[in-house]
């Protein structure tokens, strides 16, 4: 029995449990959209610019912790999506981008909308610098294997986006259904590398013997879903936790052992704690420039004299910018669970570290006092610090918030407490303005606040952001509802 690649793709995606696809139509992906029209399980989320499709898919993957799917047209569709996909790549977000390409029988003719100044049917090369892998499908019969590998690669190891570039005629070709049945026999998830027990013992004993140990956590902990294990480990060992921007929320900002965010926008107290640590256990972080004050040894980290134990899923990140005493390639969730088990066995009563908790409490009170004038300011337009303070008070503990880029991102990193892991979606790596990862339509509350630069004018700021659903921290709403100072966009205006 045979069917079209497009129909079989939709069935495959349904069987993988895909419920939403983000994208925009074009003649090169119309066969897939026609097939999707018959699906009762998959909803196509239509956008008005492919960058938004990629950002929405990014947010969706962050929250569901599974690869999301973007469907793009060729040429301008793919280039429009590029910023969103690159943003996801730099934040290690799993995503499968499926793009239509020129018909294979027109290779070399430079057909409509092809970006091919130097090679034929080469648009996939645009994505090479940031996707984990880019495939161009040249034979319909190879499509099932390629799409299956694409999902596996996006979700395994260090997650990230992949591109499957499909000449449009291939979507309409008929291939044996059995080819898809064959790939479906293969597992859809792979088991991940563990931390060797002997290495775990060594790490725990070094931390237990350290005078000023520190846990440094990044976005890899969130994406590995390892926050509970990491929190339990830090509590058992009584080790203070500093975090990267992407690691915000791994351990609640209200936890007595949480120091806060490091780097350019970290405070001196937090950076000094990192600088003075004798042992740092880093989990799921790449020690990015912003988080490490450009790696200058006088600001955030200095290895040596501090000594570094680094656990990450990606071997390329271990020892990249700082020398490691112990480096381990492991899934952070498995590793943290192993460290906890070993710590409980070696030191059953654990450690309290009351003095560090007291120092953190004192620092928080000092910071709040130093920020009080801003956080309670009556200035008009409202001070961003006040907006952050009041929005935090108004929102439930587990509300998911997102930031754009600018002071709003850095201010949130610094002074907007996050209580639940994964409840902040922020563009840490590429840090593109216009990041807009909302995917739950207008049911959420979205706010944007900051110093008020480029994004200040309603709709004219972020190049593509869908401003209608945003909450503006100034008069800027398209409907003049009377909330002059603090437009909340809660009205059902469309």
Ligand X SMILES: Cc1ncc(C[n+]2csc(CCOP(=O)(O)OP(=O)(O)O)c2C)c(N)n1
Stretch that binds ligand X, among 202-210, 259-267, 269-277, 446-454 (CB under 6 A): 446-454
3-state secondary structure of 282: strand
Positions 159 through 218 that interact with ligand X (CB under 6 A): none
Please report whether residue 453 would count as binding ligand X according to CB under 6 A: yes
DSSP code, position 92 = T
Cα–Cα distances in angstroms (integers) from residue 202 to residues 199, 335, 346, in the given order: 5, 13, 11
Size of the site for ligand X (CB under 6 A): 17
Please report whether residue 451 would count as binding ligand X according to CB under 6 A: yes
- By C-beta, is 134 or 405 nearer to ligand X? 405
- By C-beta, is 70 or 405 nearer to ligand X? 405
- Residue 440: partners with Cβ closer than 8 Å, 6 or more residues away: none
Out of 16, 65, 201, 456, the residue judged to bind ligand X by CB under 6 A: 456
Residue 365: other Cβ atoms inside 10 A: 10
Residue 286: other Cβ atoms inside 10 A: 26
Positions 384 through 413 that interact with ligand X (CB under 6 A): 404-408
Convert 31-59 to b/e letters by CB count within 10 Å (16 or more is b): bbbebbeebeebebbebebbbbbbbbbbb
- By C-beta, is 353 or 455 nearer to ligand X? 455
- By C-beta, is 299 or 472 nearer to ligand X? 472
- By C-beta, is 407 or 419 nearer to ligand X? 407
Task: Compute the least distance from the CB of residue 411 to ligand X, in Å.
Answer: 7
Provide the token pair at 460: 């004219």
- Classify 190 in phi/psi space as left (phi over 0), alpha (psi -120 to 50) or beta: beta
- By C-beta, is 235 or 291 nearer to ligand X? 291
- By C-beta, is 265 or 279 nearer to ligand X? 265
Rounded-to-integer distance, Cα 53 and Cα 80, Å: 10
Beta bridge partners of 95: 68, 161
- By C-beta, is 151 or 486 nearer to ligand X? 486
Rounded-to-integer distance, Cα 227 and Cα 354, Å: 22
Cα–Cα distances in angstroms (integers) from residue 430 to residues 182, 295, 434, in the given order: 38, 18, 11
CB 224 within 8 A of CB 217: no
Please report whether residue 51 would count as binding ligand X according to CB under 6 A: no
Rounded-to-integer distance, Cα 462 and Cα 468, Å: 12
Task: Compute the least distance from the CB of residue 454 to ligand X, in Å.
Answer: 5
**Chain residue whose CB lies nearest ligand X:** 450
Please report whether residue 454 would count as binding ligand X according to CB under 6 A: yes
Task: Compute the least distance from the CB of residue 457 to ligand X, in Å.
Answer: 10
Please report whether residue 22 would count as binding ligand X according to CB under 6 A: no
Smallest CA-to-CA distance from 278 within 340, 214, 327, 228 is with: 214
x-or-dash string of contact with ligand X, 412-441, rule CB under 6 A? -------------------xxxx-------
Task: Compute the least distance from the CB of residue 427 to ligand X, in Å.
Answer: 8
Please report whether residue 476 would count as binding ligand X according to CB under 6 A: no
Task: Compute the least distance from the CB of residue 388 to ligand X, in Å.
Answer: 11
Contact set with ligand X (CB under 6 A): 404-408, 431-434, 450-456, 461
């Amino acid at each position: 029995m045979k069917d079209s690649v497009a129909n079989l793709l939709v069935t495959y995606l349904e069987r993988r449990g895909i419920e939403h696809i983000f994208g925009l139509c074009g003649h090169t992906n119309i066969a897939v959209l026609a097939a999707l029209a018959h699906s009762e399980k998959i909803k196509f989320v239509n956008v008005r610019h492919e960058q938004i499709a990629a950002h929405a898919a990014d947010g969706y993957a962050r929250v569901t912790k599974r690869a999301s799917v973007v469907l793009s047209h060729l040429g301008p569709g793919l280039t429009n999506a590029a910023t969103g996909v690159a943003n996801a790549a730099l934040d290690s977000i799993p995503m499968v981008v499926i793009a239509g390409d020129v018909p294979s029988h027109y290779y070399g003719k430079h057909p409509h909308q092809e970006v091919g100044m130097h090679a034929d049917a080469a648009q996939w090369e645009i994505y090479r610098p940031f996707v984990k892998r880019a495939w161009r499908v040249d034979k319909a019969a190879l499509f099932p294997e390629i799409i299956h590998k694409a999902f596996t690669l996006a979700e395994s190891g260090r997650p990230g986006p992949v591109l499957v570039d499909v000449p449009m005629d291939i979507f309409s070709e008929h291939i044996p259904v059995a080819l898809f049945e064959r790939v479906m026999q293969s597992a859809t998830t792979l088991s991940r590398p563990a931390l060797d027990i002997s290495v775990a013992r060594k790490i725990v004993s070094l931390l237990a013997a350290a005078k000023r140990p520190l846990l440094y956590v990044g976005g890899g902990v969130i994406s590995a879903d390892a926050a509970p294990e990491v929190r339990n480990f830090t509590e058992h060992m009584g080790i203070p936790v500093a975090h990267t921007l992407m690691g915000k929320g791994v351990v609640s900002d209200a936890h007595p052992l949480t120091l806060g965010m490091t780097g350019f926008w970290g405070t001196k107290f937090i950076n000094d704690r990192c600088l003075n640590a004798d042992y740092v256990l880093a989990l799921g972080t790449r020690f990015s420039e912003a988080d490490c004050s450009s790696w200058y040894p006088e600001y955030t980290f200095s290895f040596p004299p501090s000594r570094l134990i680094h656990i990450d899923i990606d071997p390329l990140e271990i020892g990249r910018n700082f020398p490691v005493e112990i480096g381990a390639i492991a899934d952070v969730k498995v590793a943290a669970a192993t460290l906890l088990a070993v710590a409980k066995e070696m030191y059953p009563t654990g450690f309290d570290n009351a003095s560090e908790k007291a120092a953190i409490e004192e620092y928080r009170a000092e910071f709040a006092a130093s920020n009080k004038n801003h956080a309670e300011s009556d200035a008009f337009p409202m001070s961003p610090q006040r907006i952050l303070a009041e929005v935090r008070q108004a929102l439930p503990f587990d509300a998911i918030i997102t930031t754009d880029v600018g002071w709003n991102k850095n201010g949130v990193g610094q002074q907007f407490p996050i209580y639940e892991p994964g409840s902040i979606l922020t563009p840490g790596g590429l840090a593109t303005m216009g990041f807009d990862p909302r995917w739950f339509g207008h049911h959420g509350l979205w706010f944007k606040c900051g110093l008020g630069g480029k994004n200040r004018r309603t709709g004219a700021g972020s190049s593509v952001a869908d401003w209608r659903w945003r909450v503006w921290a100034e008069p800027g709403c398209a409907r003049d509802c009377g909330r002059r100072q603090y437009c909340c966009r809660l009205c059902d205006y469309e």
